[in-house]
Structure 1
Amino acid sequence: MPKKRSGGGLTTTQQAAKFLGVAALSGAVLAGIALPAAGALGLAAKGTVEGFDEIPSNLKTPPLSQRIKILDNEGGLIATDYSRDRTVVPLKDISPYMQDAIVAIEDSRFYQHGAVDLKGILRAMNRNVQEGGAAQGASTLTQQYVKNVFVEEAGDDPDKVAEATQQTLGRKVRELKYAIQVEEELGKKKILENYLNITFFGQQAYGVEAASQRYFSKHAKDLKLEEAAMLAGLVQSPTRYDPVNDAEEATKRRNIVLQRMAAVGNISQDEADKAVAAPIELKVSKPNSGCITAVSGAGFFCDYVRKTVLTDPSFGKTPEERSKLWALGGLTVKTTLSPRAQKAANEAATSKVHKDDKVAASVVQVEPGTGKILSMGQSRPYGLDQKKNETVLNLAVSNKLGGSTYGFQVGSTFKPITAAAALEKGISPAQSYSSDWKISVPMNSYRNCAGSPVGSGNWDLQNEMESEKGAFDMTSALGKSINTYFAKLEQQAGLCETVTMAKKLGYERGDGKPVSDNNPSITLGGTESTPLGMAASYAAFANRGTFCTPIAIEAITDANGKKLGVPKSSCSRAMSEKTADTLNQMLKGVVEDGTGTQAGLTDRDNAGKTGTTNDRVDAWFVGYTPNLSTAVWVGADVGKKVPMYNITIGGQYYDKVCGGCLPGPIWKTAMTGALTASETPAFNPISVPRAKEKAKDKGRGGDTGGGNENDKPGGDPIGGITLPPGFIGGNDGGRGGGNGR
């Protein structure tokens, strides 16, 4: 028996007959036709009257995919991204000329017939019988809208798109069923609005607002008669009538639309003639999508935001859910990016390292206390054209979020973490160790978190220069970056305690693998991390010991203005305030008269640490003020590691690159540009105990300053350390920790 609609009293077949204006659907129309399985919605259309009734009567309209807007923290547009360039607008914001033009050329009896046009069906049937197939369609605007719904739901799946657009009677029957529902539920005006928002107009423009912007760089509500007619003419064949590629064909088609508008009484013949005489005047805006469109060199930050949405469970439990959210679009993403800081970071990264150099620079800035990422700059521009030295590799972040495979060894920038672990254990900053410039440390003196020795034999290591021997306390060892001191300090503080402190500070490997507690050379930076990770870790020093996970997104709203949940920064105490205050005072010495003097800011409290790795393949400066933490890394970004000896970078020759002499000045430029004169908070003052023998000279005399890093180290032309026995340092099996600078 034919199925009835609840409360309606009529079978769907009878409703169809009502809309067609006939007593019943003729068996000659439907019966005996073998109809295929339905396409994108997984429905079945059968070739009988009863089969028509069996098609579900609920057309589930998917949300329309739209543009994503990525904004900075002041609301300025950073970039747009979309799978389909579309901006949905209400009918009142679409030019009346556009409304009339699309109706005139696509379905001039739109306001007179029901869901389907019987005259059109009979005309098409007659033609199709004569030609032995489905040569001619008779779709109303309503049916076209239904078909576009199927296409929209199919997305980018070519098989589903083919099903949704196949020219068969089965699809026509299915369209008819849903067209009846749509006419009943929406009405003519809403159908027209939906149609104009869903339809493809060519040149990657979906919907009339995007089309108007693409071809004329104006809103759809401002379209003139001849412009509206041109857009309406595109719908039949966006490629054939594309005005960008074939102005002559586009003009012919536009003129047909104008004459049709006059014929049905939308405009006068005089208006049509004047519009026909007008040339097509385009003001084309090129399709711009993705982070390649980002302003102020923020492409890498934009990509980080996109990958955050695609990987963070806050935006969906599965990768498929998160990908669907991004593809659907319509999102407004307000980020943490500071326009001022981003401009400064980008200028700093390119000030000392050119885009075509053998090495690259990365600059990233984090706000202490909030974890907000304020900038990400690189010396190479964001993009895919390698001939222009472009890259999409984000050197600031982990591999999961678009960075390098492993990250980069951090060298001596790790030493403050060891110092923090020691201070937390109660070891005084006045703790002094005396040694030669080379030492040999028993491996069984280091124990992992299970309490087991990490190896046998000895770990042989040395300082950068032969003159670096004798007694040092914690302040002078940080200022001069003494390797031997921190190997001994790690012995006393504990390897497990050192690794635990690193984890509390958010220290993570770039490849996502756990930080090992079996590697004592971690104290010299033998384990890889990322510039973002280091900036966030040092931000905890500035924040008096509280670490906050870095975040890039402040808020997201969907196309309906609904707020979505976003990941929040998680803050936790990593060390006491006293420990952090003590570190801040000691690390001030690094920039005042230690290895980082070329980075020091003279107008405010600031602190930091230099770092280089064996063969000088990585060079760092990580530093901070109470309100901004910045990490700078310089090294090879692709291919083999580049030892930075006798090398020209940014037009300047270096006999050997050091953390203070290249990343340091980059850091200073980034900090100076990001901060204003009014932002001068001070570190909490604290008295730092010193070893008696160092109190006389404050522990910072002699071989200090960035320039001294270029002195030739005695006995070892490259400086550096020897890895612990059995330890495979770095990701290439050959590199170990820092060389003391």
Structure 2
Amino acid sequence: MILASVGGVWSAGLFDPPDISKLDDSREASQILDERSVLIKEYCTYCREIIPLEEMGLFPQVAVALEDKHFWGRWGPIDWIGVMRAFWEDLKAWRIKQGASTITQQVARNIFAEEELKYERESGKLSAKFWRKMREAFIAAALEKTLYKKLGDRKLARIKILELYLNTVYCGDGKNGAWYGVKACSRWYFNKSPRELNYAETAMIAGLWRSPNSSPFLKPKEALELRERALQQLVSEGVLTPEQKKEFEIFPLPQKRGSYEINPAPHFAEFVRRQIAAKYRFVDQGLKVYTTLNLEWQKVAEDALAALGGGGGRDGKKKSGVGGRFARRSFHGRCKNGLYQSFYPRAVV
């Protein structure tokens, strides 16, 4: 019976090599910017911005302390003692209670195990969860071996794995897409870069990795509890002292969503998006579109609720566009026609 099960697992593709090209997944939010590189609008369903490890602030230290404290010292990608302990607890409960996934295994899940996760959710079978865990372990071993061979150094391989993890970790959904990676999550929850976050803010986001539905905007009590547990674990791991923890406990949760849903020039942004989307893939492509729009001029036009038809900068380029008083309700804009109908009210400044 055991041999039959092993044979079934083998034939089911457990040991199929992972598609390593997925490591080069470049999905990022595409951005439309004004003439000074100020953000106008972002377009994404897989919302993230890829950054190197050195720009991630406290996240590398916090991630290792919370998710995989033996990450730097362990020889292989699997915590076998943790796996056996979790496996025993799962067998007793007849359901998966404990994760025991190392950071490398979580990278394997985030990048390579999308189909396995989908099947697990759709089937609801315990066997599907166990199979997915086994598949993740195999992929993690293959991933670490591949990176070690490519980089020639075990520590460099681990650095790359940690960077991959922190650029793909999921932290919740917004109106326009789902947030992945520490930069997007930092902007969404705090409107800051990862380097600007303190331990309280970093710990709150790290807590959401395990429970991304506990948004501070929707479930502040749960978000506060997650942050408290994360801070306490940082004390247990020697990252913080009890006194420091008390200082960070008083920091308020974020109240206002970050800049991903800001769109100060909706007509103009939609016009640009349509022009690009007519020829190229745009959403999630990591494109940065620099335009001639000036958001300061745009603000003047918005406040005035009327535009001086045909006007523009000294270089003759359009500097703002208002499609009407109710621009945010409809994308049926008149701005582009202002190039030919310079007399049209609220067209071009």
Is this a same-fold pair by TM over 0.5? yes
Asked whether the 8 Å contact 2:30–2:283 carries over to 1, the reply is: no
SS class of match (2:180): coil
Q: Which residue of 1 aligns with 2:272?
A: 305
Asked whether the 8 Å contact 1:364–1:377 carries over to 2, the reply is: no
Q: Which residue of 1 aligns with 2:330?
A: 391
2-side partners of 1:273 and 1:198: how far apart?
Answer: 30
2:156 is the alignment partner of 1:195: no
Matches within 5 A, 1:664-703: 674=349
Q: 2:32 aligns with which of 49, 53, 70?
A: 70
Post-superposition offset of 1:218: 2.5
Post-superposition offset of 1:287: 4.5
Larger-Rg structure: 1
Post-superposition offset of 1:138: 2.6
Q: 2:224 aligns with which of 251, 254, 274?
A: 251
Identical-residue share of aligned pairs (%): 28
Amino acid at match of 1:255: E
Q: Which residue of 2 aligns with 1:642?
A: none
1-side partners of 2:116 and 2:142: how far apart?
Answer: 23
Asked whether the 8 Å contact 2:66–2:230 carries over to 1, the reply is: yes
SS class of match (1:308): helix
Query: What is the CA deviation profile of residues 510-543 of structure 1, one whole-angstrom value per residue up to 9, with x for unaligned ones?
Result: xxxxxxxxxxxxxxxxxxxxx36xx45xxxxxxx
Cα distance, 1:220–1:343 mapped onto 2, change above 3 Å: closer
Query: What is the CA deviation profile of residues 359-418 of structure 1, one whole-angstrom value per residue up to 9, with x for unaligned ones?
Result: xxxx67799x99x655432223322xxxxxx32222456xxxxxxxxxxxxxxxxxxxxx
Q: Which residue of 2 aligns with 1:104?
A: 65
Asked whether the 8 Å contact 1:101–1:258 carries over to 2, the reply is: no
Q: 1:60 aligns with which of 4, 22, 38?
A: 22
Asked whether the 8 Å contact 2:28–2:284 carries over to 1, the reply is: yes
Q: 1:331 aligns with which of 283, 287, 309?
A: 287
Asked whether the 8 Å contact 2:29–2:283 carries over to 1, the reply is: no
2-side partners of 1:150 and 1:311: how far apart?
Answer: 31
2-side partners of 1:165 and 1:103: how far apart?
Answer: 28
SS class of match (2:172): coil
RMSD of aligned alpha carbons: 3.7
1-side partners of 2:227 and 2:295: how far apart?
Answer: 44
Q: Which residue of 1 aligns with 2:237?
A: 264
SS class of match (1:95): coil
Asked whether the 8 Å contact 1:215–1:282 carries over to 2, the reply is: no
Cα distance, 1:197–1:364 mapped onto 2, change above 3 Å: farther
- Report the number of matched residues: 330
SS class of match (1:69): strand
Cα distance, 1:140–1:31 mapped onto 2, change above 3 Å: farther
2-side partners of 1:136 and 1:333: how far apart?
Answer: 45
TM-score, length basis structure 1:
0.39
Amino acid at match of 2:251: I
Q: Which residue of 1 aligns with 2:203?
A: 229
Post-superposition offset of 1:56: 4.4
Amino acid at match of 2:331: V
Larger relative strand fraction: 1
Query: What is the CA deviation profile of residues 233-292 of structure 1, one whole-angstrom value per residue up to 9, with x for unaligned ones?
Result: 12110223x3333333333322322232232333344434554xx3232344425546xx
Cα distance, 1:270–1:112 mapped onto 2, change above 3 Å: same
Query: What is the CA deviation profile of residues 457-501 of structure 1, one whole-angstrom value per residue up to 9, with x for unaligned ones?
Result: xxxxxxxxxxxxxxxxxxxxxxxxxxxxxxxxxxxxxxxxxxxxx
Query: What is the CA deviation profile of residues 414-454 of structure 1, one whole-angstrom value per residue up to 9, with x for unaligned ones?
Result: xxxxxxxxxxxxxxxxxxxxxxxxxxxxxxxxxxxxxxxxx
1-side partners of 2:301 and 2:33: how far apart?
Answer: 18
Asked whether the 8 Å contact 1:346–1:377 carries over to 2, the reply is: yes
More relative contact order, 1 or 2 (CA 8 Å, 6+ apart): 2
Post-superposition offset of 1:112: 3.2
2-side partners of 1:161 and 1:394: how far apart?
Answer: 42
1-side partners of 2:324 and 2:252: how far apart?
Answer: 40
SS class of match (2:290): strand
Post-superposition offset of 1:82: 2.7
Asked whether the 8 Å contact 1:72–1:78 carries over to 2, the reply is: yes
SS class of match (1:255): helix
2:134 is the alignment partner of 1:173: yes
Amino acid at match of 1:163: Y
Post-superposition offset of 1:190: 1.8
Q: Which residue of 1 aligns with 2:49?
A: 87
Asked whether the 8 Å contact 1:105–1:261 carries over to 2, the reply is: yes
Post-superposition offset of 1:307: 0.6
Cα distance, 1:54–1:71 mapped onto 2, change above 3 Å: closer
Amino acid at match of 1:381: F
Amino acid at match of 1:286: R
Asked whether the 8 Å contact 1:102–1:232 carries over to 2, the reply is: yes
Cα distance, 1:333–1:176 mapped onto 2, change above 3 Å: same
Asked whether the 8 Å contact 2:292–2:319 carries over to 1, the reply is: yes
SS class of match (2:211): coil
Asked whether the 8 Å contact 2:15–2:135 carries over to 1, the reply is: no
2-side partners of 1:332 and 1:133: how far apart?
Answer: 45
Q: Which residue of 2 aligns with 1:401?
A: none
SS class of match (1:201): strand
Cα distance, 1:72–1:262 mapped onto 2, change above 3 Å: closer
Asked whether the 8 Å contact 2:187–2:258 carries over to 1, the reply is: no
Q: Which residue of 2 aligns with 1:141?
A: 103
Post-superposition offset of 1:303: 0.5
Post-superposition offset of 1:32: 0.2
Misfit runs of 4+, over 6 Å: 364-367
Cα distance, 1:56–1:236 mapped onto 2, change above 3 Å: closer
SS class of match (1:265): coil
Asked whether the 8 Å contact 1:86–1:210 carries over to 2, the reply is: yes
Cα distance, 1:136–1:237 mapped onto 2, change above 3 Å: same
TM-score, length basis structure 2:
0.77
SS class of match (1:235): helix
Matches within 5 A, 1:469-484: none
Post-superposition offset of 1:60: 2.0
Cα distance, 1:177–1:375 mapped onto 2, change above 3 Å: same
SS class of match (2:306): helix
Q: Which residue of 2 aligns with 1:216?
A: 190
Amino acid at match of 1:336: T
SS class of match (2:69): coil
Task: Name stretches of at least 5 consecutive residues in structure 2 with no aligned partner.
Answer: 123-127, 149-156
Q: Which residue of 2 aligns with 1:294?
A: 263
Post-superposition offset of 1:106: 1.9
Amino acid at match of 1:100: Q
1-side partners of 2:286 and 2:226: how far apart?
Answer: 32
Post-superposition offset of 1:165: 6.2
Q: Which residue of 2 aligns with 1:541?
A: none
SS class of match (1:79): strand
Asked whether the 8 Å contact 2:188–2:257 carries over to 1, the reply is: yes
Asked whether the 8 Å contact 1:57–1:181 carries over to 2, the reply is: no
